[in-house]
Structure 1
């Protein structure tokens, strides 16, 4: 079957899947995927239930999936096809972003299939191959299938080998086969290289989509629009005016039931290696020639190649473990009291590092990256802190509340941008205080921002790789972080304690205080 082109826009397919009022000639509308299917390994996990299944329904509800789209679940559960459909329906009703529409659901559910088996079961993968061939015939998926590995990295090799053995990874003519990999991409540089080699033995690099869900967030992509669509910021986006940059991802929750996964990984591997270094690359990159995937990736790789740790690491990095305390009016336990956690563990739940980007634009500007659990509130932000004005003709007693100008990009949860600057206080005296000017996505646009997984799954089906890190980015990120992990492992003392609801250990404050700076309180 000849695949349909993927360059269509919403409005060209009807039959309950699109809004007929949309004009298909409108170039601003997003493209919709051509004939294809998606196979989810690990379909019984939380990620699939809370994110992937709802995102697939939301894409269908927005008219961005083809009428013949197929979703195949693969797991060891003894489910019939109807059982799988009930699981997806429950996930959609509980977690979908868009309203439930029965006509959309009915058409989507026609393409559901389920294959029972374990990852080392040859028969199960042969059955999966027969199922996909049947979908090509019945649903018109055209031989185009993506395989989403929502499974532990230790299972990647066996699944990739099974896909190769069963012929499912082979691409014939215009057909495509793609693999989607969730983080973590290894646990250090050596394991990342080994993992990349295993995956690339089966799938060429242009068919590998490594998901970092932060890159699918509208506010992360808005960093590029903010910088390159506005002449206002470019003249001051450099070391002449910027004092330092703080990139923060804070969570107000503990480990909960993730103790088994988290122990031995820690905050630095879980967040800094991927999310925060990617946010740094977007913040510090030069303007690409175009926003094609190759040009965008090339500029990000340049930034990562120019990024180096600032030492000595015992003074420019910090790590901690949360202890019990009060948070949000509730008494919570410390990490070592969490169920299933090793009380002797040295795994950190807070991590902070200092890096610099050795380019003409950013020379001498420190970038502080921090992440942690059980912190003061849930927030992810990029704060560009500017240097103080060189001369203030005001009385010193009137400027105590005047801080440094800042531009803050709020990635979550209150997506938007805030500018902080000084303004005169009404009255007869020249008194200046900090004020803020705020832009919020929720108030500026009538359309709600799609979930990150909606954007990323659609990009996989479209074959649009711009927001997916390649081998070189992953391996370079580990090269940056590995010396920190090795230095921490070599120390006799473990992570510093910090109470739940605080903003991290004292060592994190000392890390900035040594240069006369302080952490921004989100």
Structure 2
């Protein structure tokens, strides 16, 4: 027995509970279906390389691609190489690449091709023998949702979904998780008929971002903010995801889906859950998920829906100095398309902490700039010692969590203007990740892929979260379907007039990030 053990001290280099130490995945493989798609090339393959470059993948790791292309292993390796060269976050190192590429394999076939999945099973068995992957395999479904049932059924038929002994099999699913509550339940039933829920990882890449995870640190590691984080001091909360790009070339995915299904149902309601949840007993996955489920269960639309929601579709306009077309003039969209590119809803959380505090969620394409942020806007002070002229330049105090692109936190408050008179106006206290830390933040997919391989489900929504989110959004979608055509807004602006009216009616305004 060591002296450290005798005295009751634990060696942090040996203590697996020390969260400062990086966790390295064990022997395993990652199979990517849809490996020829844009997501795989721009995000998944570079993330795998970046994990290897950071020393977080085992020497026995293998990457398997599955697609229709007539490629061999060498062709697939070249595709991965090009994707890594173009999109990886970390510098290219030849020694890392050589070790990683030894585990590349490619299987040609269609999703309904029994022989191709039998070949995949043979390939994975060979990797267990040759690379020591130990029967641990994750299947990443980077494919359209309509293909999920076919792939899952093939994985079950070929025996790939079944694990034996201590090895594991996991499936990773990209959004959208259905297009309404009924379809989400059907999809969950199909997936859970093949994989148990603890082996299903639903990717929401926003939850892998450092600034989103920092919400938990900001709230629960700092006594400074906790007393203010409630209806006693918060007037309302705004959660915004704005993009300045249009949808040219994405009609096949986006037309008929729209902004609310694409962003509010998953990203924004997940952000709401993290902002509004109570402190969990621990950061164990079950405890975090339980608190998020409580929040989503207590979230209600503010009625009437026609006054507390807004939707729009971008028309022609200017994005910076460039003239851009409206949605119906984009390639692939019909002239009578009613797909919304802007969506805003108002909800409230029926809990003791948040009673009476509206949460405003909005997202849109072709808006003023690209930004994702969470803003807690505080109630105004009564200003009893001040007359109106002293505070006429003072707005509302706000705590703003900037998720992207300039990750950080801003605290806006009032300060005296230098001079002989008493005048108060807004100033900002700013924290920036890029300035405070020397190490750059990992990409979201790095964190999420590693968590899949580690079997760490904290950042992945479970069945109940998905279905509760649809339960919130479904009435809004039904009301919009009855209203017909969405409002039009000029590209480069901040949405339709109906969105402004939605806030003006209650004496509030949208932030202009």
Shift of 1:392: 3.9
1:85 is the counterpart of 2:85: no
The match for 1:508 is 499
Residue by residue over 1:187-229, the C-alpha shift from the partner in whole angstroms, topping out at 9 and shown as x without a partner, is 0000000000000010000000000000000000100100000
1:520 is matched with 511
What does residue 233 of structure 2 align with? 241
The equivalent of 1:220 in structure 2 is: 212
TM-superposed deviation, 1:411:
0.4
Instruction: State the partner residue of 1:372.
Output: 364
> Is the alpha carbon distance of 1:217 and 1:104 closer, same or farther for their aligned partners in structure 2, counting shifts above 3 Å?
same
For 1:30 and 1:487, the matched residues in 2 are separated by 48
Counterpart in the other structure of 1:38: 30
Q: Which residue among 397, 408, 423 is the counterpart of 1:431? A: 423
* TM-superposition CA deviations, 1:173-194 (whole Å, max 9, x none): 0010000000000000000000
Distance (whole Å) between structure 2 residues aligned to residue 452 and residue 293 of structure 1: 18
Residue equivalent to 1:147: 139
Q: Which residue of 1 aligns with 2:184?
A: 192
1:397 and 2:357 equivalent?
A: no
1:387 is matched with which residue?
A: 379
Q: CA deviation at 1:243?
A: 0.1
Distance in 1 of aligned mates of 2:387 and 2:225: 30
Aligned equivalents of 1:394, 1:305: Cα separation in 2? 43
Cα distance in 2 between the residues matched to 1:40 and 1:332: 36
Structure 1 residue 24: deviation in Å? Answer: 6.9
In structure 2, the residue matched to 1:495 is 486
| Counterpart for residue 158 of structure 1 | 150
Task: Give a deviation string over 1:33-73, Cα, whole Å, max 9, x none.
Answer: 00000000000000000000000000000000000100000
Determine which of 50, 53, 56 is the counterpart of 1:61.
53
Structure 2 CA distance for aligned equivalents of residues 193 and 23 of structure 1: 45
> 1:8 is matched with which residue?
none
| Residue in 2 that maps onto 1:205 | 197
- Structure 2 partner of 1:344: 336
Query: In the aligned structure 1, how far is the partner of 2:383 from the partner of 2:425?
Result: 16
For the residue of structure 2 that corresponds to 1:202, the secondary structure is coil
CA deviations 1:61-86 (Å, max 9, x no partner) are 00000001000000000011111000
Aligned to 1:49: 41
Match of 2:436 among 419, 444, 450: 444
Please give the secondary structure, in 1, of the residue aligned with 2:193: helix
Paired with 1:328 and 1:180, the residues of 2 have a C-alpha distance of: 38
Cα shift at 1:397: 2.1
Map 1:77-156 to 2 at 5 A.
77-156=69-148
**Inter-partner Cα distance in structure 2 for 1:190 and 1:90:** 41
Matched length: 500
Q: Which residue number in structure 1 is paired with residue 467 of structure 2?
A: 475
Report the Cα distance in structure 2 between the residues aligned to 1:292 and 1:41, rounded to whole angstroms. 30
What is the match of residue 460 of structure 1?
Answer: 452
Give 1:398 shift: 2.9
Cα separation, 1, equivalents of 2:38 and 2:431: 33
Give the unaligned 5+ runs of structure 1.
Answer: 1-21
Q: 1:268 offset after TM fit, Å?
A: 0.1
Alignment partners' CA distance in 1, 2:249 and 2:24: 37
Choose 311-320 or 26-35, whichever is displaced more.
Answer: 26-35
CA distance in 1, matches of 2:394, 2:14: 52
| 1:130-164 deviation per Cα after TM superposition (whole angstroms, max 9, x unaligned) | 00000000000000000000000000001000000
| CA RMSD, 1 decimal | 1.0
Query: How far apart, CA to CA, are the structure 2 residues paired with 1:131 and 1:24?
Result: 36
Report the Cα distance in structure 1 between the residues aligned to 2:66 and 2:178, rounded to whole angstroms: 23
CA distance in 2, matches of 1:212, 1:518: 29
Normalising by structure 1, what TM-score? Answer: 0.95
State how far apart, in whole Å, the 1-side matches of 2:384 and 2:275 are.
Answer: 29
CA drift of 1:25 comes to 6.5
The residue that corresponds to 2:4 in the other structure is none
Provide, for residues 301-355 of structure 1, a one-character-per-residue CA deviation record: whole Å limited to 9, x for no partner: 0000000000111100000000111111111111010011111111100000000
Shift of 1:395: 3.0
| 2:175 aligned to which of 156, 179, 183 | 183
Structure 1 residue 462: Cα displacement: 0.2
CA separation in 2, counterparts of 1:79 and 1:260? 26
Shift of 1:393: 2.1
Q: What SS does the aligned partner of 1:511 have? A: helix
